[in-house]
A and B are shown apart, each in its own frame.
Chain A
């Protein structure tokens, strides 16, 4: 029997102290530290003096953030009763969807968030996304001044759920140096897909490591949206009217996939498997790729890299110009009517006239409103950037993807089909059939 065994209490005092201290520290530090930060989303945001505070997660960094900060300061100067807490939300726009989903499911969400166009329908499943129908009817808002593509992008089930944030579209940028080196004439506005394929082939030079064109091959959205102008051109569509079946299962889809497959077979296309599509544009900028379909956002990059480029509209099958617009949205969330109203006021300001020009020029985007496009400020900006006028004009005939929550279930199988075409791993018919089957099955389960 051990002598002098010291009494040990049930829970040793030391560990209790340590444990208690740490937990208290963690819990206490929490509110302490939150007092230092801005904090997000308090209950109804209306202070005693009537100042409404709204929170915006803009998902922007660098240039975009700087511009927004300026615009926010501008707005707050003119509207003393509204305070805007603008931050990136801790994410870049690419990760915003995951962040918002988490926020919505926990009941703590901002008032405005930057949501990609194809995602807004999914996010809008949540009853906490604001309904802006009554606001858009207000004539002072001039809702019709927005381009149709921009309006469609924020309209779910016939009602606006946010404001347009950014519009763009797809045109083809071509590298003048590469064309000259290959002795190929530069493309013209009214070219066909056959022209495109042939040009790509003649530009491709394996010994020099030069590709005719490039296409993202990660199966993601940047890979998929490029095929839609081809499908629309060939007479098809993405889904049928009630969203129950895909509408590219016939000749339209086959023709589009065959064209892409031809590029893959010719090995004239660089399949960019790395997510983010940056490599593809780097190759173009470094004069190793002849042409690539891209949006106006890429132009500042070309300018920085001193690439000699030109821009032409997308090629067509039938001569009717068609392209796709990929608008992004400022989705508005419902944290009470006072905050929704304040958010609408802010967003109206943000998308009006001079602000629109500022935002669009720094983002490498296009004006959201017809009136902005005609303004002197925008005209000046367009004239200083090569190719921007082509994009600007294309807005007139750009179409958008449908804002339905089941869109991702169509996009993913189609993405796989395109990748198969780029890597030449299947016949167009087989790839199409599989994609259609998978997509329709997914649509059927709703």
Chain B
């Protein structure tokens, strides 16, 4: 049997519990949401079938277009910065000096603090009139900024806060990856006369590739799904400048009772990602394949 099916039966045994829980519990929600996206529904009364009307209306909706742009801006800024920042910090923290455990824990603190508490903290710090941030800026002779009250600054500020709270995650993952690198490789490189940059470029960076790929994908997904931070600080404002896609979805579903429309917006995001990932797969075919996909 092994010859016929290879390892497939064993492998399926390994993945079965995960498949059952992850896919099993997600299939129904995904299908339910898809159907919802083709209806006019407020979730509490019987829905009306609309086919693709929601999608058509979305394509003309300036508010949705704005939400997409805001989300993309956030993602394009957030993802590279969080990977670079995470790696940089991890390299700095990957050494045995006194208090290193304490430093690592401190960097990790934001991840532990709830979004609500972060919202309160940053609203105080960046208050346009009474906040510490403007006070500090005035020491350097910079005039008071609007921060969360300025529609040009609010989104960028969210990127900063998102980085501040999300870097800890990248650091922890990269630290684990750095620990994984085989001693022998590092020693061999040192013996060959490689210095820090060389070792990094030819040993560390390639060895971290699977982790970097993971972080790139993971952080992109997180950035595209930004919600909590917006909810506790700006509620999509000021003047809707920080309305991102998921906030748009939430607003449609739970404030305006247009759940079908909100679901359609969510699926636009989903379909786009699907197309992008299929495109990436075709691009990868030209490169060497990894085992197991």
A419/B43 in contact, CB under 8 A: no
A334 to chain B, nearest CB (A): 13
Q: How large is the interface on B (under 10, 10 to 19, 20 to 34, 35 or more residues)?
A: 20 to 34
Binding site for B on A (CB under 8 A): 8, 10-12, 15-16, 18-19, 22, 97-98, 101-102, 104-105, 122-123, 125-128, 209, 211, 217-220, 270-271, 273-275, 279, 283, 405, 408-409, 412, 416, 419-420, 423, 425, 442
Cross-chain contact A12 with B10 (CB below 8 angstroms): yes
Chain B interface residues (CB < 8 Å from chain A): 9-10, 12-14, 16-17, 20, 42-45, 123, 127-130, 148-149, 151, 231-240, 254-257
Q: Are B149 and A217 in contact (CB under 8 A)?
A: yes
Please state if B44 and A126 are interface contacts (CB–CB under 8 Å): yes
Q: Which residue of A lies closest to B12 (CB)?
A: A11
**Closest B residue, CB atoms, query A14:** B13
| With A217-B238, A405-B257: A126-B127 Cβ-Cβ less than 8 Å | no
Residues from chain A with Cβ under 8 Å of B235 in the complex: 218-220, 275
Q: Is the CB of B238 within 8 A of A125?
A: no
A412: contacting residue among B17, B129, B238, B255, CB under 8 A: B255
Beyond contacts A16-B13, A18-B17, A101-B44: 16 other A-B pairs, Cβ-Cβ < 8 A, are: A10-B13, A97-B254, A101-B43, A101-B257, A104-B44, A122-B257, A125-B44, A218-B238, A219-B235, A219-B240, A273-B148, A279-B123, A283-B130, A405-B257, A419-B237, A425-B151
Q: Are B45 and A127 in contact, CB atoms less than 8 angstroms apart?
A: yes
Q: How near does chain A come to B161, taking the closest CB pair, in angstroms?
A: 14
A420 to B151, CA, bound (A): 11
Contacts of B257 in A (CB 8 A): 101, 122, 125, 405, 408
Q: Is the CB of B239 within 8 A of A416?
A: yes
A and B contact pairs by CB, cutoff 8 A, 20 listed: A12-B14, A97-B254, A101-B254, A104-B44, A122-B42, A209-B130, A219-B236, A271-B149, A273-B123, A273-B237, A274-B148, A274-B233, A275-B231, A275-B233, A275-B234, A275-B235, A283-B130, A408-B257, A409-B256, A425-B239
Contact of B45 among A18, A19, A126 (CB under 8 A): A126
A16: chain B residues at CB < 8 Å are 13
Closest-CB distance, A17 to chain B (whole angstroms): 11
Contacts of B9 in A (CB 8 A): 10-11
Q: Are B129 and A270 in contact (CB under 8 A)?
A: yes
Tell me, rounded to whole Å, the shortest Cβ–Cβ distance linking B158 to chain A.
13
State the Cβ distance, A173 to closest chain B Cβ, in Å: 20
A278's nearest neighbour on chain B, judged by CB, is B120
